[in-house]
Amino acid sequence: MKISENCKYVMNTYTRYPIKLVRGEGVKVWDDEGREYLDFVAGIAVNCLGYSHPEIISTIVSQAEKIIHCSNLYWNESQINLAKILCEKSFGHSVFFCNSGAEANEGALKLARKYGRLKYGEKRYKIITTLNSFHGRTYGALTATGQEKYHKHFEPLVGGFSYVKYNDIDELQSAVDESTCAVILEVIQGEGGVNEADETYLKEVRRLCNEHDILLIFDEVQTGIGRTGKLFAYEHSGVEPDIMTLAKGLGGGIPIGALVVNEKADVFSPGEHASTFGGNPLACEVGITVMNLVSQPNFLETVQKQGDFLKSKLLELKKKYNVIKRVKGKGLMIGCELNIEDAQEIVKLALKKGLLINAVSKNILRFVPPLIVTQEDVSKAIDILEETFIEMDFKSNM
């Protein structure tokens, strides 16, 4: 597309690719010049049911004709019903609704500090997070994010946070003291490189938190709602947190975030936290539709099957081309670690060939397609990726 003069009115916060998307259906999107793309970004793991899903469209139209928004000064049935579903499908005792993952994480951090203060006094306020984590761009969430590149230009950050190596229980244990109120981590680090937490590590983190009465927060903003082949990623290990944050896939494209807590962590009182738009009827009705579809056993089994297929096809490419160092991830959250540091060049050329993927660091490609992706879609994506490798003249192992 030709970059419109009107683009100057949009604040320059993204390095955008030179296409303008105007329509989507299933796993495909089209730009304003009619070119078709296979989308393995899915709004960054948001469009879990793809584009123009008939049940989501029907839900939006039906609810919009009734009531879109009402104040949380009053009850609404949609919010109650979605909260019930989330609790019944998880460890949850209650839910707070907001509009994004960053908002959900802000709520989790506030909640943890209140818990610490209530039980142990004002000195119990420190929060431990992990290096290479990503929790959002608002100040608390930004501070919790263990990547200096996101902190640059925004200091001073919020006090009371410390950072430890991911998957290193000894370093975490050394960081815990009597002032620690919470540990926050991702079961699989998304923006940090699609790094999986070891099952043994998660169990030891849970043990440590129990021993010191520290709240354990799992950020499942990206991993939740079926992305890893389980409804929630913590289910792979069986380790339950005290607090879980959700967003992205929960609304299937409609903005919504959620803070799910167990009974122990349910300590907010009226007036201590709020969200004007959080839990509005429209977003919650779409959330109900998403949850009802994604939580079906056959759906989750298919996600795992397609994820295994995608992983196997990437491993086949690894055997053929030395550019691939490692393939990692679970379900349909897959990372491809490269032996080069120009992953963006691969992303740009793949886009020209009709495949949307993204890079989460200099050398890692991330694949988070809609959960409705088929083996045919995966095979086509792999073919385009291989064409990209060939055109970039990567050395063949064959």
pLDDT at 320 over 90: yes
Residue 1 pLDDT level (bands cut at 50, 70, 90): low
Taking the alpha carbons at both ends of the chain, their separation in whole angstroms is 39
| Angle value at C-alpha 209, between 208 and 214, nearest 5 degrees | 145
Could you give the residue numbers annotated as active site?
134, 219, 248
Tokens of 363: 């050398």
Q: Is it the case that residue 151 has pLDDT exceeding 80? A: yes
Buried b (16+ CB within 10 A) or exposed e, 98-115: bbbbbbbbbbbbebbbbb
pLDDT category at 3 given cuts 50, 70, 90 is: low
* Helices 281-294, 54-64: crossing angle, 10 deg rounding: 150
pLDDT of residue 393: 87
Cβ proximity of 295 and 231 under 8 Å = yes
- Torsion angle of C-alpha atoms 13, 15, 21, 26, degrees rounded to 10: -100
pLDDT at 397 over 80: no
Place of tokens 């349909």: 332
Complete domains list, the chain, with CATH: 55-294 (3.40.640.10), 306-338+350-364 (no CATH)
pLDDT grade for 153, boundaries at 50, 70 and 90: very high
Place of tokens 């938190």: 209
Q: Residue ranges of the alpha helices (H) in 252-296?
A: 281-294
Q: Which residues contact 199 (CB under 8 A, 6 or more apart)?
A: 236, 237, 239
280-301 pLDDT, tens digit each: 999 999 999 999 999 999 999 9
pLDDT tens per residue across span 83-100? 999 999 999 999 999 999
Task: Give the confidence band of 396 by pLDDT, cuts at 50, 70, 90.
Answer: confident
> What does the pLDDT average to over 16-34?
96
Rounded (10°) angle between helices 281-294 and 297-320: 70
Region 319-340: mean pLDDT is 96
By DSSP bridging, strand 364-367 and strand 358-361 are antiparallel
Across the chain, mean pLDDT equals 96
Confidence of residue 395 (pLDDT cuts 50, 70, 90): confident
**How confident is the model over 200-239, as pLDDT tens digits?**
999 999 999 999 999 999 999 999 999 999 999 999 999 9
- Whether the bond between 156 and the residue before it is cis, its omega within 30 degrees of 0, is yes
Are the CB atoms for 146 and 175 separated by under 8 Å? no
Q: Would you say residue 398 has pLDDT above 60?
A: no
pLDDT digit string, tens, across residues 358-383: 999 899 999 999 999 999 999 999 99
Tell me: pLDDT of 121 over 90: yes
- Residue 286 CA to residue 63 CA, distance in Å, equals 9
Residue 105 token pair: 């994480």
Query: Tell me, what's the pLDDT at 394?
Result: 87
Residue 133 pLDDT greater than 90, yes or no: yes
Q: Give the sign of the dihedral formed by CA 386, CA 314, CA 190, CA 295.
A: positive
